[in-house]
Every structure is written in C-alpha cells, then in structure tokens.
Amino acid sequence: MQKTHADPSFIKMLQGYSLTSAEVLYRMPDHPALLQTFFWQFEDMAPDYPRLRRFLEHWEREIEAIIHSVRVMHRGLVAPQEVRLVRDGGQLH
C-alpha cells in the first residue's frame, strides 16, 4: 500500500497560514518628496504576522529607506473548521 503525504502548503493552511499581501510605502533619503511602493505576497499567520514583522525589522535595520506606512491584506483560504474528515462514507450498491 502506497502512503500519500499531504502537501506542505495545505498543512500550513490548516495551521492558520494563508496568503498575505503587504504594501509598503517608503521614502528614500536622497528623494524625500517621492513616495515609493514595495508590494509583497507571502504566507503568514494573522493577527500576529510573524514573517511580516521579521521583514519589517530587517528593513528598519538594513535598508536606508524610511517606511511611511504599511497596508496588510490577509485572506484565509482554508480554515480548520471548513475541513471535515469522514471515516466511513457509507456504501453504494
């Protein structure tokens, strides 16, 4: 009998991770009047957004650009309550 393994991204969805989009508006020191945009999509877990927090901490530490604002969009594609496991689906004759 062949064992099948669940897709790792599906397992992450069941744990609460889902598609997150972040729009970062920032200014470069040499052009402070110009507002620029960085848009990023990734998997993260609301409401704490650990991956986004690590990214923003890295930005503040390593990048000269000054963050003006961050807009976050998050959509749970699959939630644990939407998945029901069935042991016996019955028989059809």
Q: What is the pLDDT of residues 31-75, one digit of tens each?
A: 999 999 999 999 999 889 999 999 999 999 999 999 999 999 987
Distances (CA, A) of 5 to 21, 82, 86: 28, 20, 17
The confidence score (pLDDT) of residue 12 equals 81
Q: Which helix (H) or strand (E) holds 44?
A: strand 31-45
| Higher local confidence (pLDDT), 67 or 84 | 67
Predicted local distance difference test score (pLDDT) of residue 31: 94
pLDDT tens for 8-38 read: 877 887 788 888 999 999 999 999 999 999 9
DSSP tag of 78: S
